[in-house]
Amino acid sequence: MTAVHVVLPGDIDDPADPSGGNAYDRHVCRGLAGRGWTVREHQVPGGWPHPGPRERADLAGLLGGLPDGVPVLLDGLVASTVPDVLAPHAARLRLVILVHLPIEGETEARSLAAATAVVATSEWTRDRLLDRYRLSPGRVTVAPPGVDPAPVASGTPGGGRLLCVAAVTPVKGHDVLAAALTEVADLDWTCDWVGPPDRDRAFADRLRARLTATGLGGRVRLTGPRTGPDLAATYAATDLLVAPSRRETYGMVVTEALARGVPVLASDTGGLPDTLGHAPGGDRPGLLVPPGDPGATAAALRRWLTDPGLRDRLRRAARQRRHTLTGWPVTVDRLATALKEATEA
């Protein structure tokens, strides 16, 4: 039996602050345990990726107490900004850094250089890392997120049930979506914003005020975070997922929607186009628009809401695309291979 030590953010299981990275980490830990690995979790509280002196000292103490030669899987949120903590242990531990979102810069470069191996959660992320840093391609593995099978959402004839699943922050583009929804206020729709609303309170407060001022306060519902059956039920009642992010390395919400045959309107940025992908016949199961462009987003929403033929085509493509998605066992297998290779390096 192989043991792996996994260093995780302290909020990994906080239902009030869910994230794709935390969900990924939890699936991986469970999956490795299911394959016979002894998974020893070490949750490190703190303001990662901006730790204070105490948090850095605690991480150094944790690594210093691990036995020589063991594989240590570190979430990139923790590892990418502390090269001085990692470097003293690089020769005796098999450090594997899991990069969900590249932070980019000299600090991350030095952190990744201290690792035996790097795991990226998308091809886009791997390409980005190889382009930015002097990493050997053989050291960087891709293990994209999986998705659990789900029943097909029935959808409504008019397609007016819109959904955005993301923390309410500028990078996720809620301001872009709010502006776009204002432009299609003459049409019949509602939009649920599901996700933590308080990571940037000032930004969220400005958006609430804007929605109220434009008369959309009753049609755009900030529900807060949802997980488990509540989130599954939300997807099941959705006609179109909207992912207006300014930057995204993968976009797990996209495959969560596609697993239910729900089309997606997404920004053409980062890893989102690859995640959206194509149906076996070549059709996109959704629409792509330039990031940060309310006008283009509004135009795409208007097409979706007013063109029954388009809705039918996109729904058909989404239902075909769902059969090409991979599950979490594939993700875990790829990551387990990376850990084994790092141990043998």
- Interval 125-161: pLDDT, tens: 999 999 999 999 999 999 999 999 999 999 999 999 9
Mean pLDDT confidence for 182-191: 98
Per-residue confidence (pLDDT) for residue 172, from 0 to 100 = 98
Measuring CA to CA, which residue among 187, 140, 193, 189 is closest to residue 165?
Answer: 193
> pLDDT-derived band of residue 1, with 50, 70 and 90 as boundaries?
low
Per-residue confidence (pLDDT) for residue 50, from 0 to 100 = 92
> Please, are residues 144 and 331 in contact by the beta-carbon 8 Å criterion?
yes
Per-residue confidence (pLDDT) for residue 14, from 0 to 100 = 85
Tens-place pLDDT, residues 96-126: 999 999 988 899 999 999 999 999 999 999 9
Long-range contacts of 15-21 (CB under 8 A, 24+ apart): 15/225, 15/227, 16/196, 16/225, 17/196, 17/199, 17/225, 18/195, 18/196, 18/225, 18/227, 19/167, 20/100, 20/145, 20/250, 20/251, 20/252, 20/253, 21/75, 21/77, 21/100, 21/101
- HSE-CB at 119 with a 13 A cutoff on CA atoms is 29
Cα–Cα distance list, 188 to 9, 185, 219 (Å): 41, 8, 10
Helices (H), the chain: 20-34, 53-64, 76-79, 83-86, 106-113, 123-132, 174-183, 201-213, 228-236, 252-258, 272-276, 294-306, 308-321, 328-344
> Please, are residues 98 and 75 in contact by the beta-carbon 8 Å criterion?
yes
Distance in angstroms (rounded) separating the CA atoms of residues 216 and 177: 12
Q: What is the mean pLDDT of the chain?
A: 96
The answer on pLDDT for 13 being more than 80 is: yes
Its pTM stands at 0.95
Rounded to the nearest angstrom, the gap between the alpha carbon of residue 180 and the centroid of all alpha carbons in its chain is: 23
What are the chain's domains? Answer: 3-146+326-344 (3.40.50.2000), 161-324 (3.40.50.2000)
Per-residue confidence (pLDDT) for residue 91, from 0 to 100 = 96
Distance in angstroms (rounded) separating the CA atoms of residues 165 and 252: 10
> pLDDT-derived band of residue 17, with 50, 70 and 90 as boundaries?
confident
Per-residue confidence (pLDDT) for residue 16, from 0 to 100 = 80
Mean pLDDT confidence for 246-252: 96
Rounded to the nearest angstrom, the gap between the alpha carbon of residue 167 and the centroid of all alpha carbons in its chain is: 11
Distance in angstroms (rounded) separating the CA atoms of residues 258 and 150: 9
- Peptide bond between residue 144 and the one before it cis (omega within 30 degrees of 0): no
Per-residue confidence (pLDDT) for residue 139, from 0 to 100 = 95
The answer on pLDDT for 170 being more than 70 is: yes
